[in-house]
Amino acid sequence: MERTFAHYEILGAIGAGGMGEVWKARDSRLGRLVALKLLPEDACDEDGTLERFRREAQSASRLNHPNICTIYDFLEDDGRFAIVMELLEGENLQDRLARGPLAVDDMLRIAVPVADAIAFAHSQGVLHRDIKPGNIFLSQSGIAKILDFGLAKLTEPNANTLSSIDATVVSPGPDASLTQMGGTVGTVSYMSPEQALGRDLDARSDVFSFGATLYEMATGQRAFDGPTMAAVTDALLHRDPVRASELRSEIPAGLENVIVKSMQKDREDRFEDMHALARALKEADWSEAPKKGAKTEKTSIAVLPFRHMSADADDEYFADGMAEEIINSLAKIGPLRVVSRTSSFAFKGRDEDIREIGSALDVNVVLEGSVRKSGNRVRITSQLINVEDGYHLWSERFDRTMDDIFAVQDEIAESIAKALEIVLTNEEREAIREIPTDSAEAYEYYLRGRFYLWKLNPESFLMADSMFRAALKEDPEFLLALASRVELYSWFYLWLPVEDKRSLQSKAEELARQSQEIAPDRAETRFAFALTHWMKQEHAKALQLFQEAAEIDPGYWEAHFYGARVAMEGGRLDVAAMMFEQAYRIRPDEYQAMCLRSTCLRGEPEEAKVVAEAKKILERHIRLHPDDNRALGFLVTCYAFEGDEEETRALGEELQRRSDVDAGFLYNVACAYIHLGWKEEAFEILFKIVKDGWGNPEWLDSDPDMDPLRDDPRFGGLIDEIKKNRERTG
């Protein structure tokens, strides 16, 4: 490199920008230090390159803003061209993020002035089109500056749209930009969808790119990434990134809402411009971020059973079904913790104060409502109530036909999100709006089936099956009804002493194949096949399919929970503990996942902590459901772990006296007795429940609670007896 360029003395190399080398130089006339960006000599004749270089100078020179790198001059010397700009000392944001995400306070300090600067550029008719961490510089004085307007487009100030120039992205990496003709401009990981598709752009394209940059500042990870440009582009166009708060719990809800709204696929759903985004950043409640190490609590909601107001008592199923479907819809919203049906339905028919309900269920807000059905007409009223003060956050009445029932459910779920100031991602909105069937009659039968299924007894299971059959007669491709039948048959097969188990297995496999033909890539289909493999004791394949279902739908509680049970039966206690934890995160009030996780952690350092948490959940649940024998069986094991012999003995004997206690629940009593060294009594219980038809040799083989019995010859006899029972029933 020559030591001078025009009247600038070259002092040393700094690096490379979007379209040239950058050198540190001294202005011999004014004596100031500058950055000199030179277009490579061999690039000056390439079609369009010089014009883009000139446009960078022209674009940035129009912008006099403290958070935009200042352009001093554009000049030529001996056939080479250069931009003279402000010399900055520090590092760019990309290099800073390589060391990890930013503290929330640092994000605020950087994001707000940069957003203001982009908004200012837009007001001057300049669209950047390449907002990314590599183009935001952090000076040593603490000021953030926007760099590299090489892809900027000049328009009239406040112009609505502009056309992209003809160039194409060649790499998905951090500096991927345009060098070839005939495509789009920008850096693919930060492009807006419309930019990636080569469509006309407006200010909302920079809004999207800035949102992707905010996401990376918050999480330390790119919102859209992959091994190839095609993979990144596919993610950009079709997938939402994991919510920032899922990767980093201290992210404030206000900041997350700004990020989510900025990165909506449809630009009509984003902030209307950068001014609106900057305003949202300034108005967001950043104080919600807890101190380091503290836990962020999600907004929590309980959906109470809707009151049944119809003249026909048989329509009770519809009121219950509406509440259950709204629970399922709300569970698809990441920032919302939704109390399970089991807990919220404990208040069915009970007239209690909202504050007491909120305290019992440990929630911030409660949704209550009523349903009046007459023929094909339905009236639904619903109110969202703040537990702390009883204030109605939202209420609405819907008078519709049954054909509109899904639209009502969608509107209720989206209205709740809006009232709680939660911005939905594209995937969350699509999941809520999904219509499971076009047949109102099929849906009614399906709701009746779920109503009977939840009664949890053999007689109601038969009624549930007949309802699901009727639903499928109306709509043979009703996936939820198919999956419910498979789930029902698996319950018969795994938990009840059924004579012809081979027939159940065959029916379940046929239903799973039907699901495969209808929707091979749906989580429900993988779940159905997983259940059939579990029936055949093919644990590895069942676990794989449960994991695939959970990956497709991370909020699918059943996939995590049953996958964990299969992993536990297969001796994969580490995998089981992880999947039980995921199930617990989805339904924190559902006690089984945490209780079984504690079993997987026997002897581990965190066992005591998990047992204490399980006991806390159990005691809250039992206050609502004092006759839940399964929960009482788990509570016995907690007492035993704590060494409380008196409580263990009292509750264990009480459960053995009850005539309505399922044999499987008494298994937990045996586990508690083993923990306290009461082996004789434990064997007595185990042989009794095996005689009554209970038996799962795979579970016994892998359950750590059974370890103290394994060297006793009676344990082998117990396994043999279970296997004989299995052979008799097929």
Which residues are designated catalytic? 130
Pairing of the two strands 80-86 and 71-77: antiparallel
Instruction: Cite the DSSP H helix spans in 402-500.
Output: 405-419, 426-433, 440-453, 458-474, 479-495
> Per this entry, what is the length of the chain?
730
Query: What backbone torsions phi and psi does residue 327 show, to the nearest 5 degrees?
Result: -55, -45
Q: Whose CA is closest to 292, among 333, 249, 322, 229?
A: 249
Task: Give the CA-trace dihedral at 59, 60, 63, 67, to 10 degrees.
Answer: 140
728, with CB counted inside 10 A (0-12, 13-18, 19+), is exposed
- How many CB atoms sit inside 10 A of residue 531's CB? 28
- Are 541 and 533 in contact by the 8 Å Cβ rule? The answer is yes
β-strands 21-27, 8-16 pairing: antiparallel
Measured at the CA of 418, the angle between CA 415 and CA 424, to 5 degrees, comes to 105
Angle, CA 563 vertex, CA 558 and CA 568 arms, to 5°: 135
Structure tokens at 322: 């509406």
H-run or E-run covering 610: helix 607-624
Q: What is residue 470's three-state secondary structure? A: helix
The DSSP letter of residue 178 is: E
Structure-token pair, residue 148:
């590299």
Q: Which helix (H) or strand (E) holds 301?
A: strand 299-303
Tell me the torsion sign for CA atoms 278, 280, 281, 282. Answer: positive
Residue 47: other Cβ atoms inside 10 A: 8
Residues 512/446/591/601 CA torsion (nearest 10 deg): 10
Cα 262-218-67 angle, rounded to 5 deg: 70
CB 561 within 8 A of CB 579: yes
Concatenated DSSP letters for 630-657?
HHHHHHHHHHHHTT-HHHHHHHHHHHHH
CA 487 to chain centre: 24
